[in-house]
Amino acid sequence: MAHPMFVKHQDLLASAVHAIESRGCWSPYRDELADYGGEAAVEAGRKAFFEAYPDAQFYLDQPGFVGRGGGEVSPYGVTLNVSYPKCSADALIATAKAAVPTWAKAGPDVRAAVCAEALERLNASSIELAFATMHTTGQSFALAFRDAGPRAQERGLEAVACAWREMKHVPYRATWEKTRGSRTPLKLEKRYTVMPRGVALVYSCATAPTWGSYPGIFASLATGNAVVVKPHPEAILPLAITVAHIRQTLKDAGFDPDLASLLVDTAEAPVARDVALKSDIGIIDYAGRAEFGNWLEDNVRDALLFTEKPGVTCIVVDGASDYVAMLDNIALSLVTNSGQRRGTPQAILVSQQGIHTPSVTIPAERFGPDLARAIGRLVEDTATACELLGAIRSPATLAQLAALAETGETLRASEKIVHPQWPEAQVRTPLLLDVPADAGDVWMEEQLAPVAFVVATPTTAQSLAFAERAIREKGALALSIYSDNENIVQLAEEVSLRTGTTLAINLTGTVLANESIGLSDYRASGLNPAAHGCLGDAGFVAGRFVVVESYRNG
């Protein structure tokens, strides 16, 4: 008899597989707050959040308890001080390992359905997740809601759909019967079982804790692995809520909740490196800063490894059919989440031959000041500015921002905005600098602070060559091109294909070059240093399980 969760979710899974093969706009998770109860629900959620969490002990019934830890401080100035159970990594791994055989035996349908159920419950908690994400990452509520809620859930479902499709390609059994002329046929009865690698480790980051980790968490669970989630010590809460939901779902489905656990550490006593090298870890997913990602790439031997690092996103400006719409889109991408969003454009390469528009060629030197004004328009109204910018998460980022001011000619200084509700929040507009193309040590370095560089180049072909060099050396997930000349767009497409970067062409409106939507967009490629592979494709899931065969004479 089919598991009740599979009965409940099989149509959803089939639709999700259709979605990953057609890649249009489809999602079971609505992304308008109105669909979640609107302002009233947000207000109720805010109240509930501040009643539930500050100074609370987050409950997770995990093995290997050694004490409590935590101590997150909201970038909006609220001391959350939630404490989480700290558990020994060895205990979490050992318990997870012991739970794997039963989970493996449950088979692809049940596992995919349990994952879908967990995602449905997370979706119902999107407002709670939004507040948890807002007060750990510094994102504004509206952005946190979308990214930590439906957008993250879509990415999780995409991974489940990819995994389910691949596992369903494997038959349960086969009769192999070979005729041999007049002799008795050779006959074998074969059985095939999908088996997981074992225990997976997922690192979540401080800027997109759920969005960045759901693909790995759900890809590994769906393929029969257990998952230990190691959150960034400054953004634990969104993952604690996530793991709690997954554990409860596993339990309700009749499985061991220890298949998913939270490994909490502190900045003072980090465990991130130790745990990566433990021999029972079969898969590692990491999304975050290049430094630790590179360390994993250099040191992890036996585990399957997926890293995703921000790299340097370039925008090449050659021309525009609507100059102002281009400026507005670029400005919006720089302002959104104070550039702390992974892959925020950092270098804008403009040919000295000017910017071609249908009516005139705009002199290159006008571009920087025009972009500065476009940023100014976006942040003119304080309320809107705060919604877009959110708060700077880390004091280190502020220090970096101050230091960067000297590295180029200022096109627009970073301004401090006083948040009307949260006066302690560090709200800053992006710094816009003009730097020469040969200052690659500045504009080609991964900057975490909200800064963008306008880089003058001799020609657009040179701009593309500089962008390609940045991608090859530093990595990138995306490249953006503005041109009304299809030959130039074609050249950019060739750079994109060669380097494995998503190409955004002539974007206007509210879609950003560093956006990537689950069930439609393939994110990252593994063809440049920004990533080891791609989210949302077969390669992301297929190595997480193997097929083990047995056969006997038939």
Choose the stretch contacting a second copy; rule: CB under 8 A; options: 226-234, 240-248, 394-402, 505-513: 505-513
Single-letter residue type at 37: G
Number of residues binding to a second copy, judged by CB under 8 A:
70
Q: Which is nearer to a second copy, 23 or 47 (CB)?
A: 23
Torsion angle defined by CA atoms of residues 76, 77, 80 and 81, in that order, rounded to the nearest 10 degrees = 140
Residue 301 makes contact with a second copy by CB under 8 A? yes
Closest CA to 350 of 319, 321, 378: 319
For residue 167, how many C-alpha atoms fall within 13 Å in the half-sphere facing its CB?
Answer: 30
Residue 440 makes contact with a second copy by CB under 8 A? no
Q: How far is the CB of 484 from a second copy (least distance, A)?
A: 12
Q: How far is the CB of 149 from a second copy (least distance, A)?
A: 16
194: left (phi over 0), alpha (psi -120 to 50) or beta: beta
**3-class secondary structure, 550:** strand
Residue 534 makes contact with a second copy by CB under 8 A? yes
Residue 445 has φ and ψ, to the nearest 5°, of: -90, 140
Residue 195 makes contact with a second copy by CB under 8 A? yes
Cα 181 from Cα 246, distance rounded (Å): 56
Q: Which 26-65 residues touch a second copy, going by CB under 8 A?
A: 32
Residue 543 makes contact with a second copy by CB under 8 A? yes
DSSP annotation of 208 reads: S
**Beta pairing partners, 349:** 316, 455
Cα 68 from Cα 71, distance rounded (Å): 10
Residue 176 makes contact with a second copy by CB under 8 A? yes
CB 96 within 8 A of CB 228: yes
Q: How far is the CB of 302 from a second copy (least distance, A)?
A: 9
Cα 116 from Cα 5, distance rounded (Å): 9
Which position among 81, 192, 266, 469 is part of the footprint of a second copy (CB under 8 A)? 192
Q: Which is nearer to a second copy, 231 or 529 (CB)?
A: 529
Residue 487 makes contact with a second copy by CB under 8 A? no
Which position among 298, 380, 406, 441 is part of the footprint of a second copy (CB under 8 A)? 298
Residue 465 makes contact with a second copy by CB under 8 A? no
Burial label, 473 (beta-carbon count in 10 A; 0-12, 13-18, 19+): middle
Residue 291 makes contact with a second copy by CB under 8 A? no
Residue 107 has φ and ψ, to the nearest 5°, of: 90, 165
Residue 193 makes contact with a second copy by CB under 8 A? yes
Cα 396 from Cα 482, distance rounded (Å): 33
DSSP annotation of 73 reads: B
Q: Which is nearer to a second copy, 365 or 521 (CB)?
A: 521
Q: Which is nearer to a second copy, 369 or 539 (CB)?
A: 539
Q: Which is nearer to a second copy, 160 or 527 (CB)?
A: 527
CB 530 within 8 A of CB 308: yes
Residue 402 makes contact with a second copy by CB under 8 A? no
Q: Which is nearer to a second copy, 31 or 415 (CB)?
A: 31
Residues belonging to the chain? 554
Choose the stretch contacting a second copy; rule: CB under 8 A; options: 120-128, 152-160, 183-191, 331-339: 183-191
Which position among 101, 270, 358, 395 is part of the footprint of a second copy (CB under 8 A)? 101
Q: Which is nearer to a second copy, 143 or 433 (CB)?
A: 143
**Beta pairing partners, 70:** 83
Which position among 177, 274, 409, 424 is part of the footprint of a second copy (CB under 8 A)? 177
Which position among 60, 271, 290, 542 is part of the footprint of a second copy (CB under 8 A)? 542
CB 464 within 8 A of CB 445: no
Q: Which is nearer to a second copy, 132 or 201 (CB)?
A: 201
Q: Which 314-333 residues touch a second copy, going by CB under 8 A?
A: none
Residue 506 makes contact with a second copy by CB under 8 A? yes
Residue 111 makes contact with a second copy by CB under 8 A? no
Which position among 1, 11, 24, 269 is part of the footprint of a second copy (CB under 8 A)? 24
Q: How far is the CB of 285 from a second copy (least distance, A)?
A: 15
Q: Which is nearer to a second copy, 79 or 550 (CB)?
A: 550
Residue 521 makes contact with a second copy by CB under 8 A? yes
Residue 311 makes contact with a second copy by CB under 8 A? no
Cα 99 from Cα 302, distance rounded (Å): 21
Based on C-alpha coordinates, what's the Rg of the chain? 25
Say which residues have a Cβ less than 8 Å from residue 186's Cβ, sequence separation at least 6.
176, 177, 178, 180
CA 211 remoteness from chain centre: 4
Q: How far is the CB of 407 from a second copy (least distance, A)?
A: 31
Residue 216 makes contact with a second copy by CB under 8 A? no
Q: How far is the CB of 191 from a second copy (least distance, A)?
A: 9
Residue 14 makes contact with a second copy by CB under 8 A? no
Residue 185 has φ and ψ, to the nearest 5°, of: -65, 150
Q: How far is the CB of 239 from a second copy (least distance, A)?
A: 27
**Beta pairing partners, 69:** 84
Say which residues have a Cβ less than 8 Å from residue 89's Cβ, sequence separation at least 6.
64, 228, 263, 271, 274, 275, 278
Q: Which is nearer to a second copy, 465 or 546 (CB)?
A: 546
Distances (CA, A) of 293 to 51, 199, 207, 276: 37, 19, 15, 11
Residue 403 makes contact with a second copy by CB under 8 A? no
Interior/surface letters 339-377, b for 16+ CB within 10 angstroms, e for the rest = bbbbbbbbbbbbbeebbbbeeeebebeebbebbbebbee
Window 130-169: contact mask with a second copy (x via CB under 8 A)? -----------------------------------xx--x
The footprint of a second copy (CB under 8 A) covers 20-25, 32, 101, 104, 165-166, 169-171, 174-178, 181, 186, 188, 190, 192-193, 195, 197, 297-298, 301, 493-494, 496-498, 500-511, 517, 520-522, 525-527, 533-534, 537-539, 542-543, 545-553
